[in-house]
Structure 1
Amino acid sequence: MGTRQPVGESALISHAKQTLKRVFTPPSHSLLPLVLLGCVIGVFAGLVMACFISLLSMILGWLNGSSLEDFESLAWGWRLGLPILGSLLLILLYRFTPASAQTVGLAYVVERLQFGRGRLPLANTAFQFVAALIALGSGHSVGREGPAVQMGAGVGSWLGQRTHRPPSQLRLLVGCGTAAAISAAFNTPLAGVLFAMEVVLMEYSILGFAPIVASAVSASAFSRILLGEHTVLTPTRLSLADYGDIPSLLLTGLWLGLVAVIFLYMVRLFLRFPLKRRSYKLLLAGVITGVLALWVPEILGSGYDTINLALSDQLPWLLLAMILLAKLFATAAAIGLGVPGGQIAPMLMVGVCAGGLAGTLVPGGSEPGLYALLGMAAMMAAVLHAPLAAIATVLELSLSAQAMFPAMTVVLTANLVCQHGFRQPSLILTLLKTQGRLMHSDPLRTALAQRYLTELASLRFSTLDAAQPNEIAKVLSQPQPWVVVDYLSHRYLLKRTVLEQAYELQQVTPVKDANLHWLTSLLTANRRLKELSADASLLTALKNLQQEDCAGFLLPVGYQGVGLVTRRRLVRRLTSDERIH
């Protein structure tokens, strides 16, 4: 026989476990732990992005030399065959990867936030890492931003799950990972913060701002330590020459809005392309990109070198027009046919070419490079419905607050044309719709769909089996406000005081041969609890309450067991300013 552990030591160990649980699982309303977690996520995301950028630079350096994006210097056979080779490698990767790990990208992250409680499997993140290296290294018309979002969000989700965050905070930590990854990849922390809140989380909040900023700043600092200065877009000082150029800005915004509409229309055409097998789609995307690259090699890859040339007015308008047309077609094919890469860099390149083309044609004294910069922001804003993130990108690239006025003018005009004039949904919503996922557009429904019952769940209840009335006295001795009664395969909710009063009355005037009648008479239909096998959103809970007059919900609450959400608690949470603990 083993030695018996002293009672005092057992109590000490139990107290230590509870203390550690409180440290690593702090109250949901505490901001400091979220900020600290944001910093940790920033460091981890910065490390992941540093590894990704280093490996990608190694591949591009082997192909193109020191000028990593210089696909234009490749021989015609390489320009044709490289995207096709990349498609073949992607087909092999898909074949040897479990189907559950194959869904990736920015749209997948948003879908997991809306319908998956912010849980992103690490297998999908690892798949995105490898697939993005193949797609970007082989010159497909995709960007690194989508993979960066997936990887950063995956890091944030994993750390949030490891620290047992509730679903709303898990959403926030996914936003932290998104901002961290973009900040680490492009040295644009402000744009990363706004992109995370505007495109991924689709909401702004005081609680969320501090952790996301902390994550973006720590990721940017850590990636600079590992990689040094690694800006992919060269900052350039551009400003409006004269306010008399405002009509030209409006025309540019109108033009960019139309380009965005055409782009979204082309993406939908490729999404509906009559090919069933993914391998055929990937191969077609490679063929389209390779054939176009024979005449316009600038479309290969993310195209940051071409963007920098356009911003510095080094490309003639005819070449800009050729790149614009070819890049539109190649990018729409890559996105619509399912190449696992990002959408933002190609959109920026389309926008910079369309803006630079407008700058050479519209009247005014401003530099064409300014219009190229504004076109880049307008395209991003119109396609993703992210005007603030686009304006922040202009601010961080132009190094001048004077560029804000023309940026706001062009971005607003392009957004109005695309979103309101032609009623085009964002690219993310378009991709989700093809997957059968319809997101809520009403702000109230969206807010309710993004909050979950586990955030309100309480463990302050006792359980009683109605078939064992001898246990009632023991249950009443516990200081819990609620009692869950199990009777005839159903669960009922009683206040402990109500049960106590009925029990005392029965003790005074017992009824012969009906010692359970006094208890079962309390178990009315409106006191029945609805048992859930998994967490549910507040929107789903309200729908259940409309369909069934129940007293509340019983649901699993992670490692803590089963939690209780009463109807009264839910109503108070939605109608009262009082914080519920």
Structure 2
Amino acid sequence: MARLAFRRPSMERFRRQLASVDAMPQLCLLGIFAGVLTGGVMVALRLLLQLGALFLMPGDDPEAFEALPPLARALMPLIAVALIGLWLWPQPRRTLRMGIGHVIERLAYHQGKMPFRNWLNQWWVGVISVIGGLSAGREGPAVHLGSAASSWIGTRLRLPHNSLRVLVGCGTAAAISASFNTPIAGVIFAMEVVIMEYTIAGFMPVILASTMGALVSWAVYGSEPAFSVPPLELSSLRDLPWIVLTALIIGVMAGVFVRLAKGHALVARLPFALRLLMIGSVTGAIAWFYPEVQGIGYDSLAQTLNAPMALDTLLVLAVIKLSLTALCLAGGIQVGVIGPLLVSGAAAGAVMGMMGGAWLPSIVTTPDLYAVLGMAAMMAAALQAPLAALLALLELTRNAAIMLPGMLAVVVAVLTARQFCGCQGFFMSTLNQLGQHPLQQPLMQALSRVAVPAVMERNLVRTPRLIDHDRARSLLGSKPTWLVIVDDNRNKPPLAMKAASLARVLDDEAWLAEHERIDLEEVPGERLDLAPVPLQATLSEAFDTLNESGVDALYVEHMTAPMIRKISGIITREAIENYYRRKR
């Protein structure tokens, strides 16, 4: 009986499969691993916050700043900035970039490769900023830590760079999913804010990663959302004008926040130590009277959504907490922003609902609803991520009845921040401040989905420049498409020549009689100057290399042993252009 033949799993074959745009099963497998790893990282981050609370906070609660004596909670931000400064001060400036903005930068310009030192710094800054009482969230650090851990899988396995990009998206989605218990919002956040494109091949592994991240979080902390939201619904369409006004105000607040977070030139010129002292002093002074501004603020958010709060406290949460978060960012501490945005947005919405209920009770019929709408509107406007905010609203409330007013509030807030305040989104504004612009062009997006092994011509042979007739016939025996002419002294880059050009002169008896030895640089035919590109590179990297080096073709190389490099293929500008035309 004939036996079924199964090919033995091979990492080299797995890498070649990942190089293609259609490698969905392989990417889904990576998505599962990335989701589990990121879920574990998120659990570790929360455990570190709980460990810090065990020593510092009453009731072992990392949010219990209100239960501390005024002097203690006022001194904690000063101690926190001192610890952060001592850790970061001796390090190069490039290692101070952290958070979601750093993830987008590395995705856009470094194909998703994450520096290890920045990753370590994110652990320190993420934990100290929250436990130390700065106005900071945990979601930004979680996304950086999860994305970098997922990218590490691909880097460790030497996977093509197009798969690294997907792994970064997987880590982002799993981090948001595990943080809030919102797997759908995690997927949309990753696609809308970080990857900035929607493709089937990209969606599937990100969905799996988000699911696995949520499952890991559920296994440890349960399936409840990060904070409870009461059942609410829009009881009358008469509320719509006040909802629009609320969204307009929140959109302006979001735009101002983004501008403040970018920092003024005067702040940037201050010494780093002075900036840290300013952050710690201002935060401590306000925390003396209003400890609600410290930490993430999910306890205050839950109270805002479920019970009445004093008007002065709501105003402090809406305005001062948002400003303190912007001050941290402008001063050089890359804290998480999503948590503080949700808290401030909910407080601003609650203030508008309270005012509307008092002044216009016949119009504002459901004042409690405005806090929930404000939360989604602030997140959407500041991040310019309307879909992610709407799905977060749906998953956090588990109430489809508020989606209609939520959509109205989100759209108005996003348009207000974008048109009246020139807000491109917090993370995009941060990148532009650094003089960088993410790759959003359709050409680069398409070319980034595929690695060079999927397009390169593998049928080639290497040869020295000078060969005899027998060696020439031997080279053509394997019927190669390209000859790669290598300088024996390595003083010149390789050249590429079509093997057909050599075949023509071998059929010319008169030409062979005149040339006892064949100089391949003298053979009639077109020769292409070559520049190197690594085997893991995407087509967008190859295209950039072609433009920067001024050549028309690249030789693809990879290391087979220490200090030994092998030429695996040839990729021409024409091959890249033909691929793009076929896939449009």
Deviation at 1:293, TM superposition (A): 1.2
In the alignment, does 2:331 pair up with 1:337? yes
In the alignment, does 2:573 pair up with 1:567? yes
Correspondence for 2:582:
576
Correspondence for 1:489:
492
Correspondence for 2:179:
185
Correspondence for 1:109:
103
In 2, Cα distance between the equivalents of 1:119 and 1:544? Answer: 18
State percent identity of aligned pairs.
30
1:281-430 to structure 2, matched below 5 A, reads 281-362=275-356, 363=360, 364-430=363-429
Residue of structure 1 aligned with 2:28, choices 15, 21, 35: 35
Specify the code of the residue in structure 1 equivalent to 2:63. E
Correspondence for 1:209:
203
Specify the code of the residue in structure 2 equivalent to 1:572. N
Residue of structure 2 aligned with 1:244, choices 234, 238, 242: 238
Deviation at 1:171, TM superposition (A): 0.5
With over 3 angstroms needed to count, the CA separation of the structure-2 counterparts of 1:524 and 1:496, relative to structure 1, is closer
Specify the code of the residue in structure 1 equivalent to 2:300. T
Correspondence for 1:53:
46
Correspondence for 1:4:
none
SS at match of 1:142: coil
In 1, Cα distance between the equivalents of 2:295 and 2:367? Answer: 24
TM-score, normalised to structure 2, is 0.88
Correspondence for 1:553:
554
Correspondence for 1:478:
478
Which stretch of the first structure deviates more once superposed, 422-431 or 79-88?
422-431
Is residue 142–residue 343 contact of structure 1 (8 Å, CA) maintained in 2? yes
* CA distances 1:163-187 after superposition (whole Å, capped 9, x unpaired): 3322222111111011111212221
With over 3 angstroms needed to count, the CA separation of the structure-2 counterparts of 1:400 and 1:123, relative to structure 1, is same
Is residue 448–residue 538 contact of structure 1 (8 Å, CA) maintained in 2? yes
* CA distances 1:251-287 after superposition (whole Å, capped 9, x unpaired): 1211111111221222233575144433332232111
1:449-468 to structure 2, matched below 5 A, reads 453=452, 456-468=455-467
In 1, Cα distance between the equivalents of 2:409 and 2:298? Answer: 22
Is residue 391–residue 404 contact of structure 1 (8 Å, CA) maintained in 2? yes
In 2, Cα distance between the equivalents of 1:121 and 1:409? Answer: 41
Correspondence for 1:437:
436
SS at match of 2:507: helix
Deviation at 1:97, TM superposition (A): 5.4
Correspondence for 1:516:
518
SS at match of 1:516: strand
Deviation at 1:155, TM superposition (A): 1.3
In 2, Cα distance between the equivalents of 1:543 and 1:45? Answer: 32
Deviation at 1:238, TM superposition (A): 1.8
**Unaligned 5+ residue runs, structure 1?**
1-14
SS at match of 2:227: coil
SS at match of 1:241: coil
With over 3 angstroms needed to count, the CA separation of the structure-2 counterparts of 1:302 and 1:249, relative to structure 1, is same
In 2, Cα distance between the equivalents of 1:518 and 1:312? Answer: 81
Is residue 356–residue 375 contact of structure 1 (8 Å, CA) maintained in 2? yes
In 1, Cα distance between the equivalents of 2:100 and 2:299? Answer: 24
* CA distances 1:88-146 after superposition (whole Å, capped 9, x unpaired): 11112224656664432111110000001111133322221122111111011110011
Which stretch of the first structure deviates more once superposed, 513-522 or 239-248?
513-522
In 2, Cα distance between the equivalents of 1:195 and 1:459? Answer: 39
In 1, Cα distance between the equivalents of 2:97 and 2:559? Answer: 25
TM-score, normalised to structure 1, is 0.89
In 2, Cα distance between the equivalents of 1:271 and 1:129? Answer: 28
Which stretch of the first structure deviates more once superposed, 479-488 or 403-412?
479-488
Which stretch of the first structure deviates more once superposed, 246-255 or 478-487?
478-487
**Unaligned 5+ residue runs, structure 2?**
1-5
Residue of structure 1 aligned with 2:12, choices 11, 15, 21: 21
SS at match of 1:273: helix
In 1, Cα distance between the equivalents of 2:179 and 2:119? Answer: 16
Is residue 255–residue 423 contact of structure 2 (8 Å, CA) maintained in 1? yes
Deviation at 1:368, TM superposition (A): 2.8
Deviation at 1:469, TM superposition (A): 3.8
In 2, Cα distance between the equivalents of 1:537 and 1:38? Answer: 19
With over 3 angstroms needed to count, the CA separation of the structure-2 counterparts of 1:366 and 1:398, relative to structure 1, is farther
Which stretch of the first structure deviates more once superposed, 240-249 or 315-324?
315-324
Is residue 159–residue 536 contact of structure 2 (8 Å, CA) maintained in 1? no
In 2, Cα distance between the equivalents of 1:107 and 1:558? Answer: 32
Correspondence for 1:503:
506
* CA distances 1:475-532 after superposition (whole Å, capped 9, x unpaired): 2122432221236824332222332232232x5652435643675143546x333445
Which stretch of the first structure deviates more once superposed, 437-446 or 164-173?
437-446
In 2, Cα distance between the equivalents of 1:251 and 1:513? Answer: 86
Deviation at 1:247, TM superposition (A): 1.3
Specify the code of the residue in structure 2 equivalent to 1:381. A
Specify the code of the residue in structure 2 equivalent to 1:420. Q
With over 3 angstroms needed to count, the CA separation of the structure-2 counterparts of 1:196 and 1:478, relative to structure 1, is same
In the alignment, does 2:45 pair up with 1:44? no
Specify the code of the residue in structure 1 equivalent to 2:464. D
1:517-536 to structure 2, matched below 5 A, reads 520-522=522-524, 524=526, 527-532=528-533
Which stretch of the first structure deviates more once superposed, 274-283 or 349-358?
274-283
With over 3 angstroms needed to count, the CA separation of the structure-2 counterparts of 1:55 and 1:500, relative to structure 1, is same
1:54-133 to structure 2, matched below 5 A, reads 54-66=47-59, 67-95=61-89, 101-133=95-127
In 1, Cα distance between the equivalents of 2:354 and 2:220? Answer: 40
With over 3 angstroms needed to count, the CA separation of the structure-2 counterparts of 1:18 and 1:529, relative to structure 1, is farther
Is residue 446–residue 580 contact of structure 2 (8 Å, CA) maintained in 1? no
Is residue 464–residue 472 contact of structure 1 (8 Å, CA) maintained in 2? no
Is residue 457–residue 557 contact of structure 1 (8 Å, CA) maintained in 2? no
Calculate the aligned-residue CA RMSD, in Å.
2.8
Is residue 135–residue 340 contact of structure 2 (8 Å, CA) maintained in 1? yes
Is residue 377–residue 413 contact of structure 2 (8 Å, CA) maintained in 1? yes
With over 3 angstroms needed to count, the CA separation of the structure-2 counterparts of 1:373 and 1:286, relative to structure 1, is same
With over 3 angstroms needed to count, the CA separation of the structure-2 counterparts of 1:61 and 1:180, relative to structure 1, is same
Residue of structure 1 aligned with 2:254, choices 249, 260, 271: 260
In 1, Cα distance between the equivalents of 2:515 and 2:144? Answer: 65
Is residue 296–residue 326 contact of structure 1 (8 Å, CA) maintained in 2? no
With over 3 angstroms needed to count, the CA separation of the structure-2 counterparts of 1:184 and 1:545, relative to structure 1, is closer
